[in-house]
């Protein structure tokens, strides 16, 4: 444990850097929150007429293409049943590209995974489960509103809006809970940095709690069993049955809001008398979405693992950095939820025209 | 690696991770093909803008969901009346996606008038007139039609997208269309990702800019 016995200067440095990290993360989030306000006035066009470029431009172009082909393919399927296969293929591709845009829980799932020391495997399961739920919700909304009740688009849109608001509130609540638990861990990690008397207490704490986290070993987080363990959740909240309940909260939070694209496709299919094809397309789309979200979730978890290695977890400074990252990720979920809820941030706005 | 260096690198990584997480790029679900007319008063001042916006196939069908008609698949102007009203009322929230500047000064619009919907060739077209709050007679008028958040993709019609109705002699019009994604996809622009508040201008990248210069 070289860090703990280094000079006060080193400790101060570590603390400072950790603080900067949190500030940076929050600044980035706030920036993001302020950037996209659909209700704001027109923004002055940039002087140099920025071009939409690179990967983002390419993804946008692809997903627009796929989406616009969906309606043509559904029409074609009316007379030619084999077009349904084309429809499924396009929907799958659309799902993959589409999820690269906001509103499919990438940010929430990734931040959640980073905040709560989850494994990549669980990230994948969460991504698929939430995408499946998103598809289900879309099908249920259209089946009830359009098919059973023959409600108008504006009624359906209002229902969507309500679900949207509820889902943002859920994200905010979920984030608040994460901040609450992670805040405790971060503060304790800060205390570990204090001079010797406090250190001793922390060491004591460390020993007491060590066995609670040994199961992390099963999931490849060998470091976790040795890294000072000052994160907040009580043991029942980690893996095991309690952990799955917590995972379920993440799935519900992300999955309750359906993708507007799926709703449009379903209503369109229904109008063409091919509702079942729309349902199939929606689930295939969800599968594509899940693949993208899972990929990003795995990248997030791996990046955190690299960060753990770089910061030399096991040393006091490393623990602080890791707890700081977790705290920052938790804060990001809260900010995302609050930003979406209060309209500072636009994900996939439900378009009620 | 020294502790400080390790910390720095891991924090950098964490920062990148979070920035990447949050990088939200909107994508459209609604496509509109726009035809617009600039309306001039007899004295040569601009009195307003008349739009005809045609929605894409999918959104048109979605919007028509649940609307009762006498004849299946045929929608009269009257039958679409309440939907048209809902449309213009909702558009208010988004400043009608129409942004005008007269000699660099932002102009305001009154509530739309003469609005109706038309259903033709499986597509809905919304017609409406936006009167300027105060008619202007500028040397240069810049009119932009776009969704700043880019949930709606506006595209000016291929043919005769803008007409000057009753404009004085010698007025010149210029059109600037958004570059489509495919053409510029090869150009990786760092500003798109790293620029300060890059997202703020996100929709503006897709703006349709109409400039009219009069003597």
> Chain B partners of A53 at a C-beta cutoff of 8 Å?
184-189, 192
C-alpha distances in Å from residue A94, one per residue of A13, A109, A287: 47, 20, 10
Give the span between the Cα atoms of A203 and B206, in whole angstroms.
58
Q: Is residue A34 part of a domain?
A: no
Mean pLDDT highest for which of A61-70, A206-215, B87-96? B87-96
Do B187 and A53 count as a contact with CB atoms less than 8 A apart?
A: yes
Q: Is residue A25 part of a domain?
A: no
Give the span between the Cα atoms of A71 and B123, in whole angstroms.
12
The B residues from 93 to 122 touching A (CB cutoff 8 Å) are: 93-95, 99, 106
Q: Is residue A33 part of a domain?
A: no
Return mean pLDDT, chain A: 72
Average pLDDT over residues A283-309: 88
Closest partner residue to A53 among B64, B90, B189, by Cβ? B189
Average pLDDT over residues A49-59: 58
Residue with tokens 């997903």: A63
> Chain B partners of A67 at a C-beta cutoff of 8 Å?
29, 58
Smallest CA–CA distance from A352 into chain B, residue: B90
Q: What is the pLDDT confidence band of residue A260, given thresholds at 50, 70 and 90?
A: confident
Smallest CA–CA distance from B100 into chain A, residue: A42
pLDDT computed for residue B7 by the predictor: 56
CB A33 within 8 A of CB A335: yes
Does position B16 have pLDDT exceeding 70, yes or no? no
pLDDT computed for residue A168 by the predictor: 87
Closest partner residue to B18 among A25, A63, A102, by Cβ? A25
More confident call, A155 vs A44 = A155
Q: Is residue A102 part of a domain?
A: yes
Q: What percent of chain A has pLDDT over 90?
A: 16
Q: What is the pLDDT confidence band of residue B126, given thresholds at 50, 70 and 90?
A: very high
More confident call, B10 vs A219 = B10
pLDDT computed for residue A9 by the predictor: 43
By CB atoms closer than 10 A (0-12, 13-18, 19+), residue A317 is: buried
More confident call, A224 vs B158 = B158
Q: pTM for this structure?
A: 0.71
More confident call, A19 vs A188 = A188
Q: Class of the B26-213 domain?
A: mainly beta
Q: What total of structural domains would you count in chain A?
A: 1
- Residue B29 forms contact with A (CB below 8 Å): yes
Which parts of chain A fold into alpha helices (H)? 8-35, 54-79, 83-98, 106-115, 120-142, 153-192, 196-210, 241-255, 260-271, 275-310, 316-341
Does position B25 have pLDDT exceeding 80, yes or no? no
Do B22 and A332 count as a contact with CB atoms less than 8 A apart?
A: yes
Closest partner residue to B14 among A3, A67, A307, by Cβ? A307
ipTM score assigned to the predicted complex: 0.74
Max CA separation in chain A (angstroms): 80
Q: Is residue A36 part of a domain?
A: no
DSSP line for B23-67: ------SEEEEEEEEEEE-TTS-EEEEEEEEEEPHHHHHHHHTT-
pLDDT computed for residue A200 by the predictor: 45
Average pLDDT over residues A276-284: 94
Give the span between the Cα atoms of A98 and A65, in whole angstroms.
11
Q: Give chain A's length.
A: 353
More confident call, A352 vs A250 = A250
Q: Is residue A20 part of a domain?
A: no
Which parts of chain B fold into alpha helices (H)? 3-22, 57-64, 81-92, 181-184, 190-194
Residue A280 CB contacts under 8 Å (≥ 6 apart), including other chains: A84, A87, A88
Q: Picking from A38-52, B77-91, B101-115, which range would have the lowest pLDDT averaged per residue?
A: A38-52
Residue A10 tokens read as 């080193």
Do B21 and A6 count as a contact with CB atoms less than 8 A apart?
A: no
Which residues lie across from B173 on neighbouring strands?
Answer: B212
Q: Is residue A88 part of a domain?
A: yes
Average pLDDT over residues A296-300: 88
Helices and strands: H and E segment counts in chain B: 5, 11
Estimate the crossing angle of helix A196-210 against helix A153-192, to 10 degrees: 120
Q: What is the pLDDT of residues A331-345, one digit of tens each?
A: 888 888 888 888 666
Q: What is the pLDDT of residues B129-165, one digit of tens each?
A: 999 999 999 999 999 998 877 788 888 998 889 999 9
Q: What is the pLDDT of residues A102-136, one digit of tens each?
A: 666 788 888 888 888 788 888 899 999 999 999 99
Domain hosting residue A141, numbered range:
59-341
- Locate the domains of chain B by residue range: 26-213
């Amino acid at each position: 444990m070289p860090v703990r016995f280094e000079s006060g200067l080193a400790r101060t440095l570590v603390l400072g850097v950790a603080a900067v990290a949190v500030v940076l993360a929050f600044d980035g989030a706030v920036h993001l929150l302020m950037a996209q306000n659909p209700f704001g006035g027109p923004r002055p066009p940039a002087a140099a007429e920025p071009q939409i470029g690179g990967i983002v431009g390419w993804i946008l172009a692809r997903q627009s293409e796929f989406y616009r082909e969906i309606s043509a393919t559904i029409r074609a399927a009316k007379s030619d049943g084999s077009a349904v296969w084309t429809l499924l293929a396009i929907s799958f591709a659309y799902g993959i590209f589409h999820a690269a845009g906001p509103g499919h829980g990438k940010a929430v799932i990734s931040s959640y995974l980073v905040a709560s020391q989850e494994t990549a495997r669980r990230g994948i399961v969460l991504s698929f489960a939430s995408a499946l739920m998103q598809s289900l919700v879309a099908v249920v909304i259209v089946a009830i509103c359009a098919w059973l009740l023959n409600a108008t688009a504006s009624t359906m849109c209002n229902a969507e809006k309500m679900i949207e608001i509820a889902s943002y509130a859920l994200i905010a609540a979920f984030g608040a809970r994460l901040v609450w638990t992670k805040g405790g861990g971060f503060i304790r990690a800060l205390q570990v940095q204090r001079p010797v008397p406090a250190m001793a207490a922390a060491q004591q704490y460390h020993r007491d709690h060590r066995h609670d986290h040994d199961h992390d070993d099963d999931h490849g987080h060998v470091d976790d069993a040795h890294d000072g363990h000052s994160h907040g959740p009580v043991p029942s909240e980690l893996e095991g049955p309690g952990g799955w309940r917590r995972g379920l909260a993440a799935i519900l939070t992300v999955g309750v809001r359906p993708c507007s694209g799926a709703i449009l496709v379903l209503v369109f299919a229904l109008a063409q008398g091919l509702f079942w094809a729309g349902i199939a397309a929606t689930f295939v789309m969800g599968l594509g979405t899940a693949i993208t979200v899972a990929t990003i979730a795995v990248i997030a978890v791996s990046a955190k693992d690299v960060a753990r290695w770089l910061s030399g977890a096991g040393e006091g400074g490393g623990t602080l950095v890791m707890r700081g990252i977790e705290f920052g990720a938790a804060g990001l979920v809260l900010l995302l939820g609050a930003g979406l809820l209060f309209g500072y941030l636009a994900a996939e706005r439900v378009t009620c025209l | 690696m020294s502790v400080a260096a390790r910390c720095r690198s891991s924090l950098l990584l964490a920062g990148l991770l979070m920035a990447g997480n949050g990088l939200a790029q909107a994508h459209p679900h609604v496509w509109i093909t726009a035809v617009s007319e600039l309306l001039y008063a007899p004295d040569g001042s601009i009195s307003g803008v008349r739009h005809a916006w045609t929605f894409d196939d999918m959104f048109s069908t979605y919007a028509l969901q649940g609307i009762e008609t006498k004849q299946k698949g045929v929608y009269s102007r009257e039958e679409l009346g309440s939907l048209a009203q809902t449309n213009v009322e909702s558009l208010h929230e988004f400043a009608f996606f129409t942004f005008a500047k007269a000699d660099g000064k932002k102009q305001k619009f009154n509530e739309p008038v003469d609005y109706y919907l038309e259903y033709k060739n499986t597509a809905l077209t919304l017609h409406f007139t936006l009167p300027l709050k105060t008619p202007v007679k500028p040397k240069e008028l810049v009119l932009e039609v776009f969704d700043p958040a880019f949930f709606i993709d506006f595209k000016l019609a291929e043919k005769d997208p803008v007409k000057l109705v009753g404009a004085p002699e010698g007025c010149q019009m210029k059109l600037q269309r958004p570059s489509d994604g495919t053409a510029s996809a090869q150009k990786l622009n760092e500003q798109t990702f790293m620029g300060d508040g890059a997202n703020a201008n996100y929709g503006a990248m897709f703006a349709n800019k109409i400039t009219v210069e009069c003597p």
